[in-house]
Amino acid sequence: MSRSFPSDFLWGVAASAFQTEGAVHADGRGQSVWDVYSHTPGRTTNGDTADIACDHYHRYPEDIALMRGLGVKAYRLSTAWPRIFPTGSGQINQRGLDFYDRVIDLCLHEGIEPWICLHHWDMPVTVEDKGGWRNRDTAKIFADYAAVVARHFGDRVKRFAPINEPNVIPWVAYNVGRHAPGKQDYPSSLQAIHTLNLAHGYTVSAVRAEAPQAEVGNIVSLGPVRPHYDDAAHEEARILGACLWRRVMVDPLWLGTYPEPIAKDMEPYIQQDDMAAISQKMDFFGLNHYNPVFVGPNKNTTFGVAETAPPTGMGPLTDVNWVVDPAAFLEQIRDTSARYGKPTIYITENGASYPDALGPDRRVIDNDRIAYFNGYLNALLDALDEGHDIRGYFAWSLMDNFEWGRGYSKRFGLVYVDYPTLQRIPKQSYHWLSEVIKANAV
């Protein structure tokens, strides 16, 4: 790249506990909703489960060494709720805290700042059995878990986020039923939206009480929402889709209100002081972005709207059929900055899946991913030139991992994982991004 980022720009990688750790029965970890979901026939590609995943639980020193080699200065990890509270609340599993102590301490030793996201979709089964996000009591239970994590790690971790991409949960898990727990029910979906927002607000308070020197922000996946066809029905779907995808898990946090056209339907779930608890001032806005989202009406979903395949002729596409569109990234940054009062933004996920293959020379040449990163990083530079307050960029992901319902069939990593052997092999994009980071180092 011929253009430069600010000298204090933060470069990082992101990953999640369930997708990488494996060791699902090790050291007292409890069962999560995704353990159950992935073991349910027909729910994942090839029946894949995350029982082993990348075995990051045992191989984290090797993975942190790969981060050091890449040159990043931050690692956005998630703590596994069922690893710390096997039954969701009550007795703390000290061995779970010990594992994250080891990870965090090694990161700090290697000059890598750990960021903690407290929840990346792996809710304990015992909490789901009591209603999960459909039960507003879950917000308090989650905040109690967050307080334990912030108290234990707050001396070393300076940035926390409550929930990764909370908008994905009602959109995918409750609208189309394609993620754990795989529910489709309108009142349950509305309650889940509000409970997730409450959990965020309660957690902000908990983190600030237990780790007052730490920063806390949200992490949400956003992209422009566009109609699949140019007609009235698809425009109506776009309006509702934009509400559900871009606004319903962000406006309450930053603006203190639910957006139209769903605001009226949310009223029965809102109790006194809820919105004040939800809409606390935050230190940063964590923006995950991959692609623009195309939508259309769909009577088989809870809300009557769903994501569609991109329109014919749209391209290029990634391996998961997402449009490569750096201009949409810039559009989303502009929208976020304008709507939410020019917050401090970190790009907390960005990346692409391609059908990577291990060559006979044990190399992975992923030029499509390099082109993707090049285009999106240049869009990020355009955003910086426009004056948006963007402080850092986390690539998704350090390594190939368990991609939820797609199992191991899709690869987003900078590092190739040879799943039969679990060998890690840096791809060409790893070396390319390393050179970019070095060229922009302080």
Distance of CA 136 to the CA centre of its chain: 22
Q: Three-state SS across 75-87? A: EEEECCHHHHCCC
Q: What is the pLDDT of residue 339?
A: 98
| Each residue's pLDDT tens digit, 255-306 | 999 999 999 999 999 999 999 999 999 999 999 999 999 999 999 999 999 9
Q: Which residues are bridge partners to 124 per DSSP?
A: 32
- Delineate the domains of the chain, giving CATH numbers in brackets: 10-439 (3.20.20.80)
Give the pLDDT mean for 29-54: 98
Give the pLDDT mean for 408-422: 98
Q: For the CA atoms of 199, 202, 204, 207, what is the dihedral angle to 10 degrees?
A: -110
Q: What is the pLDDT of residue 14?
A: 98
Q: What is the pLDDT of residue 442?
A: 61
Residues in the chain: 442
Closest CA to 271 of 132, 123, 129, 137: 137
| Each residue's pLDDT tens digit, 211-256 | 999 999 999 999 999 999 999 999 999 999 999 999 999 999 999 9
Q: What is the pLDDT of residue 1?
A: 72
Q: Which pTM was predicted? A: 0.98
Residue 421 tokens, joined: 């052997």
Angle between helical axes of 367-385 and 326-339 (0-180°, round to 10): 30
Residue pair 405/45 in contact (Cβ under 8 Å)? The answer is yes
Q: Are strands 293-297 and 305-307 parallel, antiparallel or unpaired?
A: antiparallel
| Each residue's pLDDT tens digit, 157-203 | 999 999 999 999 999 999 999 999 999 999 999 999 999 999 999 99
Give the pLDDT mean for 118-138: 98
**Residue 435 to residue 289: CA distance in whole angstroms:** 23
User: CB neighbours of 338 closer than 8 A, spacing ≥ 6?
Assistant: none
pLDDT band at residue 3 using 50, 70 and 90 as cut-offs: confident
Closest CA to 353 of 411, 435, 279, 281: 411
**Residue 199 to residue 145: CA distance in whole angstroms:** 11
**Residue 426 to residue 63: CA distance in whole angstroms:** 11
Residue pair 277/202 in contact (Cβ under 8 Å)? The answer is yes
Q: What is the pLDDT of residue 441?
A: 77
Beta strands in 162-230 (DSSP E): 215-221, 225-227
Residue 439 above 90 pLDDT? yes
**Which residues are known to be catalytic?**
165, 349
Residue 2 above 90 pLDDT? no
Which residues sit in the known binding site? 19, 120, 164, 290, 396, 403-404
What residue spans of 124-185 are helical by DSSP H?
A: 125-128, 137-153, 168
Cis preceding linkage at 397, omega within 30 = yes
Main-chain dihedrals φ then ψ at residue 370, nearest 5 degrees: -60, -45
